[in-house]
Amino acid sequence: MRLHINGKEHVLSLEPRVTLLDALREVIGLTGAKKGCDRGQCGACTVLSDGRRINACLTLAVMQEGRHITTIEGLAEGDTLHPMQAAFVARDALQCGFCTPGQICSAVGMLAEARAGAASTVQPPPAALPQTLGDAEIRERMSGNLCRCGAYRNIVAAVRDAAGATRRA
């Protein structure tokens, strides 16, 4: 199979039951996405598939053939951090760092979803989405990513900074 990961094509011979997470970590050597719960509940394995966030532990590698996968390792351009990565550093939005790659990939995908007009439980239907996301909206849209250390306040601030959003309750 051929997987497009972080702008590079990888030709792999895998069993059909191998998850994308295991292919990334064990076969390709990209260890940014973490195996937290291995059940899709914590978000530590979040990566982007064609720009949409997915839990890499819940999808088989073969299901991602033909799609473009972006991991935390693929967000930066050389030594220049992605704006979301830079915001996480500036806001000290991590403690142990285990969830951070998944949090950052999820935040990048979440902002793209919000810009595309995807509704959430905080905001009314897409036509009424605000130009900026408030803290409650960010928390709701990021709710699939858990931080065992409790760095949520700084994570929300980092996402708000990266989005260019103003603070709203």
**Number of domains forming the structure of the chain:** 2
Please give the model's pTM, rounded to 2 decimal places.
0.92
Instruction: Give yes or no: residues 157 and 92 share one domain.
Output: yes
Per-residue pLDDT of the chain (169 residues; tens, 9 = 90+): 999 999 999 999 999 999 999 999 999 999 999 999 999 999 999 999 999 999 999 999 999 999 999 999 999 999 999 999 999 999 999 999 999 999 999 999 999 988 888 878 777 665 545 567 889 999 999 999 999 999 999 999 999 999 984 333 3
* Predicted pLDDT at 165: 42
Instruction: Give yes or no: residues 55 and 93 share one domain.
Output: no
Distances (CA, A) of 140 to 114, 144, 149: 12, 9, 18
Instruction: Give yes or no: residues 53 and 31 share one domain.
Output: yes
Task: Indicate whether 168 belongs to any domain.
Answer: no
Where in the sequence is the domain holding 92, given as residue range(s)?
Answer: 83-163
Task: Indicate whether 169 belongs to any domain.
Answer: no
Instruction: Give yes or no: residues 49 and 6 share one domain.
Output: yes
Task: Among 46, 74, 102, give the residue marking a domain's end.
Answer: 74
